[in-house]
Structure 1
Amino acid sequence: MNAVQLPLSNPPLKGFLRWGYTLSITSGHAVTIPWFYSNFIQLSCTKKFLEDGRQCYVDFFRGQPNELNFNNPFLLTCNVNYTFLENLALDDWPKFFADQIRNGYYCIVFLDESKLSPAACYQQEPFPHHLFLYGFNLEERVFYASMFDHTGVYRNLEISFEEFLDAVNSMKKLLKEGQTSDHHTYFYKYEPEFHYPFDKVAVIDQLRDYLNGETRLNRINYNPDENEAFGIRVYDYLQMYYDAVEQNDPRLGMRNDVRHLHLLWEHKKMMSDRIEYLVTEGIIPYDEELAEGYKDLAKRAMKLRDQYIRHEIREDKEVFERLRLRFNQFRDEEPVLLQKLIALLEG
């Protein structure tokens, strides 16, 4: 076969590549839906981004390890580093990854994204990143890939073998010079035999963790990071972050202004979709206050994100007052809705 494209779906979460990549493989399969709605409840946020100059991260939290490392139970996962592949001649890399795809493995390759023309960082400073490959065409010498493009949109596109090799070769040099560490290359195969019914206990536990601003996920192996805030406490650090942006605080490191708000919207939409799923499946009875309440949270979160995007195009200082208003509203309203959801789940 000179051309292969493995099945792919539009992922329901795209805030970070770890979600876009893995969920684009699994979310199109109905058998994975109960697992999906049993998860993706908790949020986490960096706390000391002003004190130590770190980048502020806001994201879904599913415990440790990183989502690329064996966290999706429907994916058979293996990974290798550049040391493992060092005896593979550079020109043989396209065939090697095409062979894995031909055998049913999606490939997530760690490379220098600044060598890829669709990327926002193209021809700029080196940018070590993972690229998702789901197909190839040997005659046209291209991989079919998914990534965030130069506009920040997650989409499917083509990457030429030439650019792919440039990106791999650049990564080899960065590793040899000690400019970055090896975050490994991953191979995933979808395993439909796995069975995961909806887990009401796990959902209730995560909802309580969110309300209490804590996490109990995977504590048997990992201590919670003292530099992370969880659940309802994330709003405090989002407010701190945007206050620093408004004031042009020199301590603020690399910024992800819109992404934080996009993640906030994805979380509210995910909660709204989960409630609809629970009602449809007969797990909880329909409750108008709960269902409409979360729909409204999601609508306001999306509007807030869009307003901030417009602010970045044409400055609107009033957006920061709207941020404060919405964060305060969400902080007050969300616990009431979550307590109601917990009560309905406990029956």
Structure 2
Amino acid sequence: MNAVQLPIQNPPLKGFLRWAYTLSITSAHEETIPWYYSNFIQLSCKKDFLEDGRQYYIDFFRGKPNELNFNNPFLLTCSVNYTILENLALDAWPQFFADQIRSGYYCVVFLDESKLSPAASYQRDPFPHHLFLYGFDWEEKVFNASMFDHTGVYRNVQIPFQEFLEAVQSIRHLLQDSLTADHHTYFYKYEPHVSYSFDKMAAIDQLRDYLNGETHLNRINYNFDNKEAFGINVYSYLQMYFDAVESNDPRLGERNDVRHLHALWEHKRMMSERIEYLVEEGMIPYDEELVEGYRDITKRAMKLRDQYIRHEIREDKEVFEKLRLRFEQFRNEEPALLKKLITLLEG
């Protein structure tokens, strides 16, 4: 086979590539839907971003393990580092990864994205990152890949073998010079070896954690260092972040303003879709206040993100007051809706 493309689907969550890559595989399979809606309830964010100067983030939280590493029940996962791969001759890399794809493995390769022409970082400073490969065409000498392109849109692209080799060679040099850490290369095979029904108890536990601003997920092997906020408490740190942006606080590290608002919108949309799924599957009765309440929060979260995008194009200082208003509204409205959802799930 000179050309192979493994099945993928436009992923439902794209805020961070650890979700986009793995969900683009599993979302193509209907049997994974109950697992999907049993998860992605909790949020976390960084608390000490002004003290340590590192980038603020807000993201879905599914426990401490790296989502790319053995944290999806439908994916058989293998991972290797460059210490293992260094014995693979550079010109053998295209054949090696084409062989894995031919065997049914999706590949998430750690490389220097600044060498890839579709990337926003192309021909700029080195940008160590993961690239998702799901196919290849040997005659055309290209890989089929998914990534955020230079316009910031997550899409499917073709990566010439030559650019791929340059990106691998560059990351090798960065690792040798200790200019970056090795974040490993991953291989995933879809294996529906588990039957997963919607897990009411898991969902209720996550909803309670969200309401209480805490987490009990996967704590057996980790001590939490109080540097993350969870659930409803995230709003306080979102506000702190945008206050720092508004005042141009010199302590603020690398900024990614729109991503934070996009992640917030994805969370509200996911919660709204979950409620509609539960109603459609007959697991909870239709409740107008609950359904319409989360639809409305979702619409306001999307509008807030879009208003901030326009602010970045043409400055509008009033957007910061809109942020304060919306964060306060969400913080006040969500608890009643989530308590209602818990009551309905408990039946």
How high is the TM-score relative to the length of structure 1?
Answer: 0.99
Q: Distance in 1 between matches of 2:28 and 2:338?
A: 28
Indicate conservation of the 8 Å contact 1:43/1:58, yes or no: yes
- 1:152 CA displacement: 1.2
Task: Classify the secondary structure of the residue corresponding to 1:120.
Answer: coil
Letter of the 1:64 partner, please give it: K
Matched, 1:69 2:53: no
Letter of the 2:114 partner, please give it: S
Indicate conservation of the 8 Å contact 1:90/1:165, yes or no: yes
Q: Which residue of 1 aligns with 2:4?
A: 4
- 1:221 CA displacement: 1.2
Letter of the 1:2 partner, please give it: N
Mapping for residues 6-45 of structure 1, pairs under 5 Å: 6-45=6-45
- 1:150 CA displacement: 1.0
Q: Which residue of 2 aligns with 1:279?
A: 279
Gaps of 5+ in 1: none
- 1:87 CA displacement: 1.1
- 1:223 CA displacement: 1.9
Matched, 1:84 2:52: no
Letter of the 2:338 partner, please give it: L
Letter of the 2:133 partner, please give it: L
Q: Distance in 2 between matches of 1:183 and 1:225?
A: 22
Indicate conservation of the 8 Å contact 1:215/1:224, yes or no: no
Gaps of 5+ in 2: none
Letter of the 2:237 partner, please give it: Y
Letter of the 1:331 partner, please give it: R
Q: Distance in 1 between matches of 2:151 and 2:233?
A: 31
Q: Number of residues paired by the alignment? A: 347
Q: Which residue of 2 aligns with 1:94?
A: 94
Mapping for residues 263-278 of structure 1, pairs under 5 Å: 263-278=263-278
- 1:287 CA displacement: 0.2
Q: Distance in 2 between matches of 1:201 and 1:122?
A: 46
Letter of the 2:93 partner, please give it: W
- 1:262 CA displacement: 0.2
Mapping for residues 149-168 of structure 1, pairs under 5 Å: 149-168=149-168
Query: In the TM superposition, what whole-angstrom CA distance separates every residue of 1:29-73 from its partner, at most 9, and x where no partner exists?
Result: 111000000000000000000011010010000002110011110
Q: Distance in 1 between matches of 2:200 and 2:92?
A: 48
- 1:120 CA displacement: 0.9
- 1:21 CA displacement: 0.1
Indicate conservation of the 8 Å contact 1:304/1:323, yes or no: yes
Task: Classify the secondary structure of the residue corresponding to 2:83.
Answer: coil
Query: In the TM superposition, what whole-angstrom CA distance separates every residue of 1:174-233 from its partner, at most 9, and x where no partner exists?
Result: 000011111000000000221111100000000000000000000111122411000000
Mapping for residues 279-298 of structure 1, pairs under 5 Å: 279-298=279-298
Letter of the 1:108 partner, please give it: V
Q: Which residue of 2 aligns with 1:55?
A: 55
Q: Percent identity?
A: 80
Letter of the 1:260 partner, please give it: H
Mapping for residues 113-124 of structure 1, pairs under 5 Å: 113-124=113-124
How high is the TM-score relative to the length of structure 2?
Answer: 0.99
Q: Distance in 1 between matches of 2:6 and 2:36?
A: 21
Q: Which residue of 1 aligns with 2:342?
A: 342
Q: Distance in 1 between matches of 2:310 and 2:301?
A: 14
Q: Distance in 2 between matches of 1:245 and 1:118?
A: 29
Q: Distance in 2 between matches of 1:230 and 1:246?
A: 24
Q: Which residue of 1 aligns with 2:133?
A: 133
Task: Classify the secondary structure of the residue corresponding to 1:130.
Answer: strand
Task: Classify the secondary structure of the residue corresponding to 1:12.
Answer: coil
Q: Which residue of 1 aligns with 2:248?
A: 248
Letter of the 2:299 partner, please give it: K
Q: Distance in 1 between matches of 2:32 and 2:89?
A: 38
Q: Which residue of 2 aligns with 1:145?
A: 145
Q: Distance in 1 between matches of 2:13 and 2:225?
A: 24
- 1:265 CA displacement: 0.3
Deviant stretches of 4+, over 3 Å? none
